[in-house]
Chains A and B, each alone.
Chain A
């Protein structure tokens, strides 16, 4: 058990280190400009007074590393700073939106994960026959389209032509769960399509890899039905790689959700981030990017931890 604990602890420590380094990178990213950030935000026509005010607000008169430490200290205390454009407290503005984003992401995940795993197993069962080929053709098409185009295709056919669901995903506090679910049908569908392809392909690859083992051949030779072989012998051993695949693809959702929220004007983190990039609101962008990076790094870390925990070889060291 010791080895497992040690590996898990190492992986978590690495994740925290990575997150810290990512925060440095995000901070450097907004300070990458050789010239004056204040000037570039306000444009050429800015008055000297406005420039001086903005510089003071951004703390540009201090050296960069001090500004970083101050920012990081604030973040660790739950203080994400204030928005430049409307002076709002960022932490308060984000909390409601983060909940909305997580709601949309979990609806998508609850549909996508079982669907992708099932389709992946079907593709293995009928390998190189038409169900497999059909599944990989759909996969190839869905990974060849950016999320926002999938969004508009879905809007055109399901909202405009056939009126299945609303094209604008309005959501507000006080809606019942059923109303909320109805509002997010289309964005959730787009997200499912976005992550589906990769997840299915990787599940297929993970199970196919196992299908070459000796015990699968034994099962075949003793006359087991192909589907039973996959369900009883291959799948249990593939759970660890599949969980890994699922986690990695949920991390992809983080990117997909930014664009999808904009397409459906869904009041979540993604739209908040994109809006404030256009307004050049640096504190908001830094805070939202840090949250997205944290979720992304966290899910990748979780994937590794789960695969360490589910690997029985590590539990019984030689």
Chain B
């Protein structure tokens, strides 16, 4: 851990900052989420660092509270998609045969429809609550972790130590969790970072379209929706989520790149 490259370190620090702000939002945010505390469309000042929005709410506070919602939903959805996707991927790789065929073809099918379109279809009949959003986002995106996990696990299942475990009579579950999982962890963690960012983008898009997080709660996509009319008058409140999403996405990408590079160099030789 001593020689973390600078880019990964910066990425780690910024990512950690976002998560800390999300966890400690009630203590950090200067004002409550829904409180109208100042004039309308005020520019940045000492009491309102990012100005106020169309009904006089503090934009900085809303960014912090919104970030909390965004990060929280995206995190749970990522865990769900990874839990489902990776488990199914390992099962497919270890069991092989018709189980593998069935799951893989079904995943092909789900991936043949863009996730945003499919999410819109489902949200037509189900009113978006936070639980529904997490379930829809988590299951729709389980396809990619599935593919990565399966690809990695297929390489691992032909190793001698897996063969040895099979010969000494271990069950499928032991092989999946004790033999395959520990050796597949690194690429999966890197992929997890990328999927988390994808979830942040998907959730923001849904909220922007009015089909994600519903008022009085808000998230970064919702903040853009609330403040987009101000842009025409030169009020930049709608653009702050862009800065937040982009910096979170880039820092997570930097960390994921580093984890991936570390794995590939491990394969080359453990000494280096």
From A21, A40, A148, A155, give the contact of B127 (CB < 8 A). A40
Please tell me if the beta carbons of B246 and A141 are within 8 angstroms of each other in the complex. Answer: yes
Chain A contacts for B113, CB-based, 8 A: 22, 25-26, 289, 292-293, 296
In the bound complex, how far is the Cα of B232 from the Cα of A289, in angstroms?
32
Q: List, sorted by A's number, 14 A–B pairs whose CB atoms are closer than 8 Å.
A: A18-B109, A25-B109, A40-B126, A144-B253, A145-B246, A148-B221, A152-B239, A254-B114, A258-B116, A273-B117, A277-B121, A282-B124, A289-B113, A293-B113
Which of B87-95, B153-161, B205-213 makes up part of the contact surface? B205-213
A81 to chain B minimum Cβ distance, whole angstroms, is: 14
Q: Which residue of A lies closest to B248 (CB)?
A: A144
With A22-B112, A30-B122, A148-B208 given, name 19 new contacts (CB 8 A).
A25-B113, A26-B113, A33-B125, A37-B125, A40-B127, A140-B253, A143-B249, A146-B205, A146-B208, A148-B221, A160-B234, A254-B114, A259-B116, A274-B211, A277-B120, A278-B211, A280-B125, A289-B113, A293-B112
Interface string of A272-285 (1 = CB under 8 A from B): 01101110111001
A40 touches B201 (CB 8 A): no
Given contacts A25-B110, A293-B112, contact A285 B126 (CB under 8 A): no
Contact A30 B124 (CB under 8 A): yes
Assess A21 versus B109: contact at CB under 8 Å? Given A156-B231, A273-B120: yes
* Chain A neighbourhood of B122, CB < 8 A: 29-30, 32
Residues of A within 8 A of B211 (CB): 274, 277-278
Contact with B along A137-160 (1 / 0, CB 8 A): 000110111111100110110001
Q: Indicate if the CB atoms of A146 and B245 lie closer than 8 Å.
A: yes
Is A262 close to B, CB under 8 A?
Answer: yes
* Size bin of chain B's contact surface: 35 or more
> Nearest Cβ in chain A — how far from B231, in angstroms?
5
B204 on the interface (CB 8 Å rule)? yes
Q: How many A-B residue pairs have CB under 8 A?
A: 142
Question: Chain B residues near A149 (CB, 8 Å)?
Answer: 204, 224, 239, 241-242, 245-246
Q: Bound state CA distance, A282 and B127, in angstroms?
A: 13
Residues of A within 8 A of B250 (CB): 140-141, 144
Give which listed residue, B112, B120, B249, contacts A300 with CB less than 8 A: B112
CA distance A25 to B111 in the complex (A): 11
Contact with B along A1-35 (1 / 0, CB 8 A): 00000000000000000110110011001111100
CB of B229 to closest CB in A, whole Å: 11
Q: A293-B113, A300-B112 are in contact. Are A153 and B124 (CB under 8 A)?
A: no
Is there an interface contact between A146 and B123, defined as CB atoms closer than 8 Å? no
Q: Is the C-beta of A165 less than 8 angstroms from some C-beta in chain B?
A: no
Which one of B108, B197, B224 has the greatest number of beta carbons of chain A within 10 Å?
B224
| Smallest Cβ-Cβ distance to B252: which chain A residue | A144
Whether a CB of chain A sits under 8 angstroms from the CB of B42 is no
A174 CB to nearest chain B CB (Å): 27
Q: How far is the CB of A175 from chain B (nearest CB, A)?
A: 23
Assess whether B49 is interfacial by the CB under 8 Å rule.
no
Distance in Å: Cβ of B264 to nearest Cβ of chain A: 15
List the A side residues contacting B232 at CB < 8 Å.
160, 167
* Interface check A286, CB cutoff 8 A: yes
Q: Is A255 an interface residue (CB 8 A)?
A: yes
Q: Is A219 an interface residue, CB under 8 A from the partner? A: no
B118 within 8 A of A: yes
**Nearest CB to that of B123 among chain A residues?**
A277
Chain A residues with Cβ under 8 A from B108's Cβ?
18
CA A16 to CA B59, docked complex, whole Å:
49
Contact with A along B221-243 (1 / 0, CB 8 A): 10010001001101010110110
Interfacial residues of chain A within 280-312, with CB under 8 A of chain B in the complex = 280-282, 285-286, 289, 292-293, 296-297, 300
A259 CA / B205 CA spacing, docked (Å): 8
Q: Please, how many angstroms separate the alpha-carbon atoms of A3 and B153 in the complex?
A: 33
Q: Hey, which chain B residues are within 8 Å of A152, CB to CB?
A: 224, 228, 231, 238-239, 242
Give the 4 A-B CB pairs with smallest separation, nearest first: A144-B249, A149-B242, A29-B121, A255-B114
Residues of A contacting B205 in the complex (Cβ-Cβ under 8 angstroms): 146-148, 259
Determine if B197 and A32 form an interchain contact, defined as CB atoms under 8 angstroms apart.
no
Q: Give Cα A297 to B127, complex, Å.
A: 28
Say yes or no: A144-B197 contact (C-beta < 8 A), given A160-B231, A255-B116: yes
A103-144 vs B: 1/0 string, CB under 8 Å? 000000000000000000000000000000000000011011
Interface string of A245-265 (1 = CB under 8 A from B): 000000000110011001000
Report A-chain residues with C-beta under 8 Å of the C-beta of B239: 149, 152-153, 156
Taking the closest CB of chain A, its distance from the CB of B206, in whole angstroms, is: 10
The closest CB in chain B to the CB of A23 belongs to B113
- By beta carbon, the residue of chain A nearest B242 is A149
Using Cβ atoms and an 8 Å threshold, which residues of chain A touch B112?
18-19, 21-22, 293, 296-297, 300
Query: How near does chain A come to B127, taking the closest CB pair, in angstroms?
Result: 7
Cβ contact of B124, chosen from A160, A161, A277, cutoff 8 A: A277
CA distance A317 to B246 in the complex (A): 49
Taking CB atoms, residues of chain A closer than 8 Å to B201 are 146
In B232-272, the 8 Å CB interface with A consists of: 232, 234, 236, 238-239, 241-242, 245-246, 249-250, 253
- In this complex, the member of A41, A148, A274, A292 whose beta carbon has the largest number of chain B beta carbons within 10 angstroms is A148
